[in-house]
């Protein structure tokens, strides 16, 4: 398994986690990591579009994608 390593997220910019459908409302937890999102992911150093140890097969899914699919039905 090869991890995709990114440069650190710029200060003031939201990490990938901020836009993820699976994140639990403003907490550092999500469906993939209910005990806490690893620092490498939440900091933006590793893209969670690929498998990451312990994620249970759940990957980043942009909230905007789900909203686009569901349209008004998801509101």
Give the model's confidence band at 12: pLDDT under 50 very low, under 70 low, under 90 confident, else very high.
very low
CA distance 53 to 34: 13
Residue 68's pLDDT band (cuts 50, 70, 90): confident
Q: Report residue 69 as tokens.
A: 């699919």
**Tens digit of each residue's pLDDT (9 = 90 or more) over 45-64:** 999 999 999 999 999 999 98
- Rounded to whole angstroms, the Cα distance separating 37 from 26 reads 12
Evaluate if residue 41 carries a pLDDT over 70. yes
Record the pTM. 0.72
Contact of 15 with 43, CB cutoff 8 Å:
yes
Report the pLDDT value the prediction gives residue 2, as an integer from 0 to 100: 43
The predicted structure's pLDDT at residue 40: 93
Burial zone of 63 (CB within 10 Å; 0-12 exposed, 13-18 middle, 19+ buried): middle
């Amino acid at each position: 398994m090869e991890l995709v390593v990114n440069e650190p997220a710029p200060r003031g910019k939201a990490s990938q986690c901020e836009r993820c459908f699976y994140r639990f409302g403003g907490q550092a937890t999500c469906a993939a990591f209910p005990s806490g999102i690893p620092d490498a992911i939440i900091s933006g150093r590793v893209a969670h579009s690929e498998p990451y140890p312990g994620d249970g097969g759940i990957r980043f899914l942009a909230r905007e994608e789900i909203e686009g699919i569901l349209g008004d039905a998801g509101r």
